[in-house]
Chain A
Amino acid sequence: MTRTLLTGNAAAAWGARLAEADYVPAFPITPQTEIIELLAEWMQRGAMAGRIVMLESEHSMLTAAGAAAATGVRVFTATSSQGLLYAMEMLYTVAGWRVPLVLVNVSRGLAAPITLEPDHNDVLAVRDSGFLQFHCATCQEALDGVLLAYRLAEDARVRLPVMVNMDGFYLSFTREPVRLPEPEQVRRFLPPFDPETLYFRAGAPRSQGVAVLGGAQYSYFRYEAHLASLGALRVFEEAAAEFARLFGRSYAPLETFHTADAEFAFVMLGAFATKAKQAVLRLREAGWRIGLVRPRLLRPFPAQALVEALGGLRGIAVIDQNLSTGMGGVLCSEIGAALLRAGARPVVAGYVGGLGGRDIPVEEFFEMARETKAAAEAGRCPPTRLLYTEEELRQTRALQAIAMAE
């Protein structure tokens, strides 16, 4: 195992290289480009025995990815934001084909207004597509996540595509020390892809992706995919246990940080959770019993683990780096529903922050902790708050004034 400094993008590309992906259909979009450029370079100078093909859109890229996987090769691809939505139709389609490809999404806010900076509306817009979702917070996790994703996707009990998500810029372009596993070790964890029923070849006619007539057949295949996804939780835990044995790094469906004695917790996805960790340490210095819960797996939804981690707390602050317009944060409502169904009743305070890469400074975490505590004391869930400061409003108004000026 060698240790080297890698960006999140490079770490993800290393994941594909170590997984010995055969085929990479690609299309460029900031901030994902480094991934496909690296893979192209490796393949073209023979460092990686695969083929990369530039498609003309992400819709076609996903079609080629799914069709290649349906023919029996190991497929890797990557996109971001507008690209992910452009491919939307095919995300559902290839998940329905039950092909085990891995897609890295480098999260970026969605237009309009157009921006390059991250939030999670892209990956949550495809939440229901059938792809499993693994969310990273470190560069190491981006590499390891790709390896875990292949294990999960290709398991005969799962056979669903997996999306590995990382935050644009904050993770994609940040260099961190990453341990590169030895290829032989990786091969032990991830044996060559056995495509089983996924093939097209002469002498063995096969139809895939065919139409169905009627709701009963349609429902059957949709339910099958759902049940396979639910079952993937156990498969993930098995794979993660083996990963820990081989590589010494543990990946539970949830990362928990200082939750053992906690009364309160922040809940966040992705790299911005690192900011929450800093805040937790500062709050603890100030006497708070507070922690952080960060789901790595979002699909399948680790409901039971979440209830176990959060159900006994007095209050939780769910910080959504996404906005379901007219509703609030997506994660908050999912977690609220999981707790309600389990009969667990910590007060849930919902926050929307970090949209388009907006910072969440430590003072805001302090404020959210105070509000959550007050809500717990009052026994009432407060309405969702949108994080924004007076100063930000003043500056935006100043820009508006310039825009309006003749």
Chain B
Amino acid sequence: MSETRFKALKDLPAQHLLLPGTPMCPGCGGLEVVKQVYDVLGENTVFVNAAGCLTLLATYPFTPFRGSWIYTAMASAPAGAQGIRDALDILIAKGRLPPAQNLDVVVLSGDGAAYGMGLGPTSAAIDRGLDFYYLCYDNEGYGNTGQQTSAATPAGARTATDHGPVGFAGEKKDLFSIWVAHHPPYVATITSADPVDLARKVETARGHAGPKLFIALAQCPTGWHYDPKDTVQMGRLAVATGIWPLKAYAGGRVTHTRRPKPKGERPPVEEYLRAQGRFDHLFSPTRNEEALARIQARVDAYWDAAE
């Protein structure tokens, strides 16, 4: 990790490659992640998109990408990446494409696709050792359709399909571990609130052939109910409270690239939850001590177990 060209904020590209003027909501965390990842990967890329909010990035006849793009469907973007990768390899092998015109293939999907409908296709793409990047922007719900509960929705969150007093009664699925269980060359979690960590991880991934997968926290003012100006703050809180661990898997090992302060010293998860309307019902009209304690206990247990 240490030998990437990104050591501090000043090493990051000063200008973004992604062009402005997209129809995303103000403060969209998913868009911010794409911007930062794009700066590292560059324009010699083809984004293979699954249905979600970011599908509207390219609406005929406009695109903010300087490189290429194809929208596939909700479930099968990894298979689209397979088709493009194979076709590029075939064209190069048969002398119909100069190797210098090769592209990196990048799947761009939301959590709904990554954790649910698209999980089988992703698993299969990893099985096949497909040389591609997978960028999941995780806004913890089916955002494009109005933030219904997805397999990435965290415990206690109110969504368009979980209105009850406890919000979503289940737990967020551990997609990182599921991906890691396939033993691909590289898996990492990222957040746009820590651009150096993000850039270093994407840069590190570039050194690996095969599947390179990222889960990015995608703060979503519209679905999470907070002021768009607080998007960066929301990302920082997620890391500081320990609810969004920043980690990477490579060479058979998981390493945490940022550690929150020890238990007792780090801010309670409550600070992150209270900042978002989707957790309001845990605080008013009465505090749901039991739910809050359970969420905190899970975060603490995670870090107790983390080496």
Contact = CB atoms under 8 A, between A and B. Distances in A.
Interface stretch (A153-161, A203-211, A376-384): A203-211
A205 B61 CA distance: 13
A89 interface: yes
A180 interface: no
Interface string B83-115: 110111111001011001111000000000000
A210 B63 contact: yes
Nearest to A61: B79
B138 to A, nearest CB: 22
Given A53-B128, A63-B72, A207-B69, A200 B56 contact: no
Contact of A67 (B65, B80, B127): B80
Given A207-B69, A211-B59, A201 B101 contact: yes
B88 A200 contact: yes
User: Which of B68, B94, B102 has its CB near the most chain A CB atoms (within 10 A)?
Assistant: B68
A89 B73 contact: yes
B81 interface: yes
User: Which of B59, B70, B76, B102 has its CB near the most chain A CB atoms (within 10 A)?
Assistant: B76
Contact of B79 (A50, A51, A55): A55
B58 interface: yes
Interface in A183-212: 200-212
B46 A200 contact: yes
A207 B58 contact: yes
B58 A211 contact: yes
B72 A67 contact: yes
B83 A64 contact: yes
B208 interface: no
Nearest to A213: B59
A200 B48 CA distance: 11
A201 B103 contact: yes
Interface in A203-243: 203-213, 217
Contacts of A213: 59-60
A57 B102 CA distance: 27
B101 A207 contact: no
A25 interface: yes
A93 B72 contact: yes
B237 to A, nearest CB: 33
A122 interface: no
Contact of A59 (B43, B56, B75, B88): B75
A64 B83 CA distance: 4
A305 B110 CA distance: 49
A71 interface: yes
Given A22-B94, A73-B90, A200-B88, A65 B83 contact: yes
A274 interface: no
8 contacts: A23-B83, A23-B87, A56-B127, A57-B120, A68-B83, A70-B70, A201-B102, A211-B55
B59 A212 contact: yes
Contacts of B87: 22-23, 67-69, 71-73, 200
A66 interface: yes
Interface of A: 22-23, 25, 49-51, 53, 55-57, 59-61, 63-73, 89-90, 93, 200-213, 217
Contacts of A89: 73
Interface in B10-49: 43-44, 46, 48
B66 A205 contact: yes
Contacts of A71: 83-84, 87-88, 91
Interface of B: 43-44, 46, 48, 55-56, 58-61, 63, 65-73, 75-84, 86-91, 94, 96-97, 100-103, 120-121, 123-124, 127-128
B76 A60 contact: yes
Contact of B124 (A22, A55, A201): A55
A202 B99 CA distance: 10
A93 B77 CA distance: 12
Contacts of B80: 63-64, 66-67
Nearest to B96: A72
Contact of B86 (A23, A93, A211): A23
B59 A210 contact: yes
A93 B65 CA distance: 22
Nearest to B46: A200
Given A60-B121, A211-B56, A213-B59, A203 B101 contact: yes
Contacts of B89: 51
A207 B84 contact: no
Given A60-B78, A65-B83, A73-B90, 8 more contacts: A63-B83, A68-B84, A71-B87, A200-B84, A201-B101, A207-B63, A210-B60, A211-B58
Nearest to B55: A211
Contacts of A55: 79, 82, 124
Contact of B69 (A51, A64, A65, A208): A208
Contact of B82 (A57, A67, A200, A210): A67
Contacts of A68: 83-84, 86-87, 90
Contacts of A72: 87, 91, 96-97
A67 B79 contact: yes
B84 A22 contact: no
A49 B65 CA distance: 35
B71 A210 contact: yes
Contact of B91 (A57, A63, A66, A73): A73
Given A67-B84, A211-B56, A213-B59, A202 B90 contact: no
Nearest to A206: B68
Contacts of A201: 88, 97, 101-103
B81 A67 contact: yes
Contact of A53 (B58, B82, B123): B82
